């Protein structure tokens, strides 16, 4: 639970009342009256050793002081004895004053040297000796405990003082504030006022410093009122403390007003004001104030220039930074190491790394600060290799690095991605003993995580005694990829258990883990935490949220997160576009690029590649061409990601020639681009070209991967290269060490079964143990339908129905096998099985794009131009009969009469689409028809003859491949 503010704990001044504080003496050191035990505990020495120490401190008077005469019990005494006792009492009193004075002097020395153990020993002797302390002793004792970093002990001594004064109170208050316990200092100030002790200028200044530390501006204003009441507001200490308080709390107008109301603006006050403005990033205000300072009679120092440079650095004000540099040269400060580091920082932030390095080179006798500043400078500007070289040079100069040096050079090695350098620096860190520094450890964790060494990064994290939020975030950053993303949610949960409040970096990392893991449930829980921590309006977190929902297939939630963003940048648009494309909503993705441009956001290479991939999905060739022109205009034609998307788009839209032109015009290639071209040629039935590209790929020293061999084996299958296919399949493991996947086995089965080698297929399945591979059996079933192999087809269907009973195409293939052999009872049985299982047949359809509008056709469907389409088909039928076309009614898989079968054939969806395209396009244009099922044999023969009659190229893409019909021939050479 958050601590209440100081203002809420106490009423307004001048009462300074608050709940009474009870001091439990048992919590403080119980100083023993036996000096031997005290000395043993405090100093760890024997009593004789301690006496030797005190002998040195007391300059030879210890023995006399410690030999104290004791008062004897009262008996009947003679006059002479009574007189002697009076003399002894007088001697004891005089001696006690001297001794307490000596104690005070020793305590002063202990305070000066910060020697806590010796100071406690002196205190012990005072108690053992029974010497009554005076006010000076109490002040000295309190001062000793305060200066030695024991404010609680000082507070206890203050409570024992009979006459407390403002000096003692101020000393105790200052000790708590110096230890960082500002709120306790404020509480003590309130107690002092309740005791009726008036503060002096040092008390008020110390209390104001405490207010500044805990950002309690309300209580600070009350202290200011007290300063006015006692007439001390014009004091320079109080004034500077008030200026610092107002500036730190963001009340810059009050800080300026307080500053200029001071009777004297000295250098200290100017430096306080300038420093606070610089720290808050108000560079222009720093320059304005510095101009006023120059007009005054106050001389500036190197510390003043340091604050001004910090302001120039924050506002990237190079011109004024150079002016300050000139002032430094004029006043002889240029080569001062402290100021030089600020100048290097300023030039670095203003992107002048060369000037920063020139200045660095001018300094003689570099210390660790200047080296660290320069290393950080070159690292921040992307010169990571130079940063590591500077680090090596620094070590050669025998300058010992510190934690800031190591943090910067580890960061440089992280960006270099060189694990060897990072591990070497880690060894150096261990050598110099900085392995427990939190900033260094955090940098090491990030270095290991970015290099994929998550276990090493986790070990560094586990070695931390008190990890901070940055440590947790650095650890989380390594659990994004597919292999270890499941650890991200667990680490995030543990971070919450440890009491850490996640920030935006925490949420971004854990949401990326959820995206990789497709863990929608935990992602929603993280979303709830985002709302709880009021980060729902953060654009970076919002982008991570919409990406998580998009990856998990929840595009509605992703759109909601997208619309809630205040500012949508190029990265955000790219994420939502790729989300639509990934979830089969490519049309919306393409629409987004137009909306994005209307908002003034220009697409980058990733946005364009995503949109072009969307065009590939829906075969939107016109939109693809528009995006292609956009790629050329924006200068992204050399990007391999964009080019791969373009080649793939043209290939999938049936424009394999355009894909080949783009591919041949490129200068840079990668494996993905080679694979895209190989698979493109294979899908278009140009197997020879696919294999030729594969050989060129190897000649150019590109190593093929799994996708490459899918394209190569498919090419062999489509052109009937059985022996070559076998050789390529075996070379995967023997030459390239690639283990075949289900897709590779299916390709090999397709090669054999398409060629009718079913005996070899059986042997291959048994040899490779593929009996539970559904993809292999589906491939066999398709080949059985082509070759009419009922026996193997039935066996394949039994396997498939057991493995994937919900796939409708498998039932249809089996039904077609039976129908082709005239076994209509078996056909009826298969149809009934489908009905009982609730499996519905996907209706066959074809579509064409005419004038940016897609027209879909089914055999028994309707269309606004259906009469004209039928008329056109009758016209084509007459022309076909003149060249000897005979309908292949064996491809009609319905138990109807011959004339009805001819009607079925003439109204197949691809023929309807062809007729409409002929009615709607110019004679010179290529006709593109897309079909969701395989083209039948009659339609295949029909398209070949029509392409020759009308002298136009017709391209039909069915569910398996492209068929290019031209001049009476097909690109598949009737092997399909």
pLDDT in tens, 83-122: 444 444 444 455 777 888 888 888 888 888 888 888 888 8
Radius of gyration of the chain (CA): 44
Query: 238 — phi, psi (to 5°)?
Result: -65, -40
What is the predicted pLDDT for the residue at 895?
Answer: 47
Q: Is the pLDDT of residue 787 over 50?
A: yes
Phi, psi of 669 (to 5 degrees): -130, 160
| Region 446-463 average pLDDT | 91
Q: Model pTM greater than 0.85?
A: no
The whole-number pLDDT of residue 14 equals 38
Question: By the 8 A CB rule, do 781 and 814 touch?
Answer: yes
Mean pLDDT of 738-763: 92
Do 281 and 314 meet the contact criterion of CB atoms below 8 Å apart?
A: yes
Residue 229 is predicted with a pLDDT of 79
Total residues belonging to the chain: 976
Q: pLDDT digit string (tens) for 574-592?
A: 999 999 999 999 999 999 9
Q: Does an H or E element contain 467, and which?
A: none
pLDDT value of position 914: 94
- Cross-strand bridge partners of residue 475: none
Q: Model confidence over 167-191: pLDDT tens digits?
A: 888 888 888 888 888 888 888 888 8
Look at 82 and 739; give whichever has higher pLDDT: 739
Q: Which of 288-297, 337-346, 848-857 has the highest mean pLDDT?
A: 848-857
Residue 346 has pLDDT above 90, yes or no: no
Tokens 């009969």 locate to 881
- 976: closest CA among 965, 955, 961, 966? 961
- Count, in order, helices (H) and strands (E) of the chain: 52, 6
Collapsed DSSP state (helix, strand, coil) of residue 970: strand
In whole angstroms, what is the distance from residue 898 CA to residue 306 CA?
Answer: 98
| Average pLDDT, integer, range 478-497 | 79
* pLDDT number for residue 43: 34
Q: What mean pLDDT comes out for the span 605-625?
A: 91
For the chain, percent of residues with pLDDT exceeding 70: 86
Q: Which residue has the tokens 């005076």?
A: 134
Structure confidence at residue 58 as a pLDDT band (50, 70, 90): very low
User: Residue 891 carries which DSSP code?
Assistant: G
Cα–Cα distance between 294 and 2 in angstroms, integer? 44
Query: What average pLDDT score do residues 686-690 get?
Result: 93
Q: What is the mean pLDDT of the chain?
A: 82
pLDDT of residue 211: 85
Residue 819's CB: how many other CB atoms inside 10 A?
Answer: 21
Q: Please enumerate in sequence order all residues whose Cβ is within 8 A of that of 651, keeping only pairs 6 or more positions apart, or say none.
A: 659, 676, 677, 679, 680, 683, 684
Question: Mean of the pLDDT values across residues 524-542?
Answer: 90
| Average pLDDT estimate for 948-953 | 92
Question: DSSP class of residue 925?
Answer: S
Residue 849: its H or E element: strand 845-850
Under the banding of pLDDT at 50, 70 and 90, the label for residue 225 is: confident
| Beta-bridge partner residues of 964 | 955
Q: What is the phi/psi pair of residue 962, to 5°?
A: -100, 140
Long-range Cβ contacts of 812-819 (<8 Å, 24+ apart): 812/841, 813/781, 813/782, 813/784, 813/785, 814/781, 815/893, 816/785, 816/893, 817/784, 817/785, 817/788, 817/789, 817/790, 817/793, 818/790, 819/893, 819/894, 819/895
Contact 241, 275 (CB under 8 A): no
For tokens 């070497």, the residue is 424
Percent of the chain residues past pLDDT 90, beyond the cut:
35
In the structure, what pLDDT confidence band is assigned to residue 947 with cuts at 50, 70 and 90?
Answer: very high
- The pLDDT tens digits for 803-843 are 888 888 888 888 888 877 778 888 888 888 888 888 887 88
What pLDDT is stored for residue 945 in this prediction?
A: 92
Spatial distance between the Cα atoms of 644 and 664, rounded to a whole number of angstroms: 12
Least confident interval from 59-73, 251-265, 709-723, 873-887 = 59-73
Q: How far apart are CA 772 and CA 408, in angstroms?
A: 55
Lowest mean pLDDT among 282-291, 526-535, 859-868, 914-923: 282-291
| pLDDT tens figures, 393-449 | 999 888 899 999 999 999 999 999 889 999 999 999 999 999 989 999 999 999 999
The sign of the torsion formed by the CA atoms of 767, 773, 776, 780 equals positive
**855 phi, psi to nearest 5 deg:** -110, 125
Helix (H, G, I), strand (E, B) or coil at 352: coil
pLDDT of amino acid 253: 67
pLDDT score of 263: 61
* pLDDT confidence of residue 27: 33
**Three-class DSSP category at 346:** helix
- Determine which helix (DSSP H) or strand (DSSP E) holds 883, and give its type and residue range: none
Identify which of 887, 872, 904, 871 has the alpha carbon closest to the alpha carbon of residue 942.
Answer: 887
Q: Cα–Cα distances in Å, from 177 out to 146, 232, 887? A: 10, 21, 100
pLDDT at 243 over 70: yes
User: Where do the H-state alpha helices sit in 620-705?
Assistant: 621-634, 640-652, 656-665, 671-683, 687-699
What's the helix, strand, coil split of the chain in %, to 5? 70, 5, 30
Residues 6 or more apart from 352 whose CB is under 8 A from it?
318
Encode 571-592: b = buried (16+ Cβ within 10 Å), e = exposed.
ebbbbbbbbbbbbebbbbbbbb
Does the pLDDT value for residue 50 go beyond 50? Answer: no
Q: What is the mean pLDDT of residues 461-472?
A: 92
Is the peptide bond between 128 and the residue preceding it cis, with omega within 30 degrees of 0?
Answer: no
- pLDDT exceeds 90 at position 850: no
pLDDT surpasses 50 at 53: no
C-alpha 893, offset from chain centre: 58
Q: Work out the average pLDDT over 301-312.
A: 81
Query: Do 566 and 532 meet the contact criterion of CB atoms below 8 Å apart?
Result: no
927-931 sheet: strands from edge to edge: 853-858, 845-850, 927-931, 954-957, 962-966, 969-970
More confident residue, 82 or 512: 512
């Amino acid at each position: 639970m958050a601590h209440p503010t100081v203002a809420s704990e106490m009423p307004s001044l001048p009462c300074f009342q608050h709940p009474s504080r009870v001091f439990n003496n048992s919590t403080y050191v119980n100083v023993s009256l036996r000096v031997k035990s005290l000395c043993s505990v405090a100093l760890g020495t024997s009593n004789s050793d301690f006496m030797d120490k005190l002998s040195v401190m007391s300059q030879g008077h210890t023995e006399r002081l410690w030999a104290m005469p004791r008062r004897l019990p009262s008996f009947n005494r003679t006059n002479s004895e009574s007189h002697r006792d009076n003399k002894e009492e007088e001697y004891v009193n005089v001696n006690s004053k001297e001794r307490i004075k000596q104690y005070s002097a020793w305590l002063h020395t202990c305070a000066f040297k910060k020697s806590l153990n010796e100071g406690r020993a002196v205190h012990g002797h005072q108690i053992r000796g029974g010497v009554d302390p005076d006010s000076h002793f109490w002040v000295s004792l309190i001062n000793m405990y305060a200066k030695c970093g024991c404010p609680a002990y000082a507070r206890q001594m203050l409570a024992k003082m009979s006459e407390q004064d403002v000096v003692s109170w101020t000393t105790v208050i200052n000790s708590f504030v110096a230890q960082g316990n500002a709120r306790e200092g404020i509480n003590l100030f309130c107690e002092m006022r309740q005791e009726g002790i008036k503060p002096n200028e040092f008390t008020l200044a110390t209390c104001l410093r405490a207010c500044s530390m805990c950002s309690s501006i309300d209580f600070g204003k009350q202290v200011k009122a007290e300063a006015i009441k006692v007439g001390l507001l014009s004091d320079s200490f109080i004034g500077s403390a008030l200026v610092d308080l107002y500036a730190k709390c963001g009340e810059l107008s009050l800080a300026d007003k307080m500053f200029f109301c001071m009777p004297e603006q000295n250098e200290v006050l100017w430096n306080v004001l300038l420093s606070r403005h610089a720290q808050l990033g108000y560079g222009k205000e720093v320059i304005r104030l510095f101009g006023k300072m120059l007009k005054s009679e106050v001389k500036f120092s190197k510390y003043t220039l340091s604050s001004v440079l910090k302001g120039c650095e924050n506002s990237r004000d190079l011109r004024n930074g150079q002016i300050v540099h000139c002032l430094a040269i004029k006043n002889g400060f240029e080569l001062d190491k402290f100021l030089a580091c600020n100048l290097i920082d300023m030039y670095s932030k203003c992107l002048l790394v060369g000037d920063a390095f020139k200045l660095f080179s001018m300094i003689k006798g570099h210390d660790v600060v200047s080296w660290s500043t320069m290393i950080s400078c070159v690292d921040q500007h992307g010169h990571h290799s130079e940063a590591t070289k500077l680090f090596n040079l620094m070590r050669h100069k025998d300058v010992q690095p510190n934690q800031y040096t190591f943090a910067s050079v580890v960061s440089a090695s992280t960006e270099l991605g060189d694990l060897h350098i990072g591990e070497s620096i880690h060894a150096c860190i261990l050598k110099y003993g900085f392995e427990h520094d939190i900033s260094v450890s955090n940098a090491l964790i990030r270095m290991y995580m970015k290099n994929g060494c998550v276990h090493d990064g986790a070990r560094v994290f586990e070695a931390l005694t008190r990890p901070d939020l940055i440590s947790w975030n650095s650890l989380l950053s390594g659990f994004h990829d597919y292999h270890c993303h499941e650890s991200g949610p667990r680490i995030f949960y543990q971070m919450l258990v440890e009491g850490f409040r996640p920030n935006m970096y925490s949420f971004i990392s854990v949401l990326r883990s959820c995206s990789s893991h497709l863990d929608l449930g935990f992602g929603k829980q993280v979303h709830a935490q985002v709302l709880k921590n009021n980060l729902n309006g953060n654009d970076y977190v919002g982008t991570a949220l919409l990406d998580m929902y998009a990856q998990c297939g929840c595009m509605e939630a992703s759109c909601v997160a997208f619309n809630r963003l205040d500012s949508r940048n190029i990265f955000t648009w790219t994420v939502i576009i790729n989300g639509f494309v990934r979830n089969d909503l490519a049309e919306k993705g393409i629409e987004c690029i137009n909306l994005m441009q209307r908002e003034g956001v220009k697409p980058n290479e990733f946005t364009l590649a995503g949109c072009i991939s969307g065009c590939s999905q829906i075969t939107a060739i016109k939109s693809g061409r528009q995006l292609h022109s956009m790629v050329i205009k924006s200068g992204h034609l050399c990007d391999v990601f964009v080019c791969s998307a373009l080649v793939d788009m043209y290939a999938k839209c049936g424009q394999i020639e355009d894909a080949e032109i783009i591919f041949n015009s490129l200068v840079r290639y990668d494996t993905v681009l080679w694979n895209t071209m190989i698979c493109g040629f294979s899908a278009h039935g140009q197997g020879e070209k696919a294999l030729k590209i594969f050989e060129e790929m190897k000649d150019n020293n590109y190593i093929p991967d799994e996708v490459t061999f899918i394209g190569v084996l498919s090419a062999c299958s489509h052109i009937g290269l059985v022996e070559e296919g076998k050789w390529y399949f075996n070379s995967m493991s023997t030459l390239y060490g690639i283990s075949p996947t289900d897709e590779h086995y299916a390709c090999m089965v397709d090669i054999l079964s398409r060629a009718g080698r079913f005996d070899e297929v059986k042997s291959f399945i048994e040899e490779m143990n593929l009996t539970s591979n559904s993809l292999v059996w589906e491939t066999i079933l398709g080949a059985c339908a082509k070759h009419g192999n009922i026996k193997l087809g039935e066996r394949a269907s039994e396997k498939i129905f057991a493995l994937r009973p919900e796939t409708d195409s498998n039932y249809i293939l089996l039904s077609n096998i039976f129908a082709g052999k005239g076994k209509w009872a078996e056909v009826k049985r298969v149809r009934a099985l489908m009905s009982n299982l609730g499996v519905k047949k996907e209706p066959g359809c074809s579509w064409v794009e005419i004038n940016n509008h897609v027209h879909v056709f089914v055999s028994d469907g309707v269309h606004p131009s259906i009469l004209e389409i039928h008329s056109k088909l009758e016209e084509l039928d007459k022309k076909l009969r003149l060249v000897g076309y005979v309908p292949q009614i064996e491809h009609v898989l319905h138990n109807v009469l011959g004339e009805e079968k001819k009607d079925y054939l003439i109204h197949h969806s691809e023929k309807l689409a062809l007729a409409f395209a002929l009615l709607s396009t110019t004679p010179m244009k290529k006709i593109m028809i897309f079909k969701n099922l395989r083209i039948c044999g009659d339609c295949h023969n029909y398209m070949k003859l029509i392409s020759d009659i009308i002298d136009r190229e017709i391209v039909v893409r069915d569910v398996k491949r492209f068929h290019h019909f031209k001049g009476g021939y097909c690109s598949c050479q009737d092997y399909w």
